[in-house]
Amino acid sequence: MPTVTIRPIEPGDGERLRAFHAQLSPESRRLRFFSFHPHLSDDEVDRFVNVDGTRRAAFVATVGDEIVGVARYEGTIDDDAAAEVAIIVRDDMQHQGIATALLDRLGAHAISKGIEHFTAITLPENERVRHLFRAFRSGTSSRFGDGVIDVTMPLGSNDA
C-alpha cells in the first residue's frame, strides 16, 4: 500500500476534491449522496473545502498530491454536542484501513471541540459504512426509518 497521509482539508484542495469525486464509481457516489451525483457544483466544492474547524471540520487522506478519502462532520442545529459525519474513500483504496484512520482522526478532533457523538444517515445497502460505524466505538446504535438508517456513535472512550 502506498504511503497515506491524513491532514485537515484546506481551501486550496478544491481541484483535488473535484478530481477525487470524478474517480469515484457511480455506486460510491450514490451511496454517499443518496442520488446520482456525477459532479460537485462550485458551491459544494466551496462549502466542502472551507470549514471552520470547530462546528464544521474535514480531513482528507492523500497519496502524494491526490485525495483518496474524505471524512467530515457538521454540527447539528439542535444539539451542540452532536455532529453529523460523512466519509468516503476512493474505490481502489477501500479495505486498507483508510476510512478507519480518517474516522479516528476526525473523532479525536471532534472531541477536542466539545462534540460528544456523531450521527449519520446511511442507506440500508451500504454495508461497508455500517460495519465501519459499528466497529468505531462501543455503544453505537442504529434505527431504521423512512428508508434510511440513522446511526449514533458516542465519541468517548471505546471499551471494546
Task: Dump pLDDT digits (tens) for 90-142.
Answer: 999 999 999 999 999 999 999 999 999 999 998 888 888 888 988 888 888 88
CA dihedral 102, 78, 55, 137 (to 10 degrees): -20
Is the pTM above the cut of 0.85? yes
Q: Which residue has the higher pLDDT, 157 or 144?
A: 144
Supply the pLDDT for residue 160: 41
Question: For residue 88, what are the CA distances in angstroms to 77, 154, 156?
Answer: 23, 20, 23
User: For residue 24, which amino acid is it?
Assistant: L
Domains of the chain, first to last? 5-116 (3.40.630.30)
Strand runs labelled E in the chain: 5-8, 56-63, 66-75, 82-89, 117-122, 141-145, 148-154
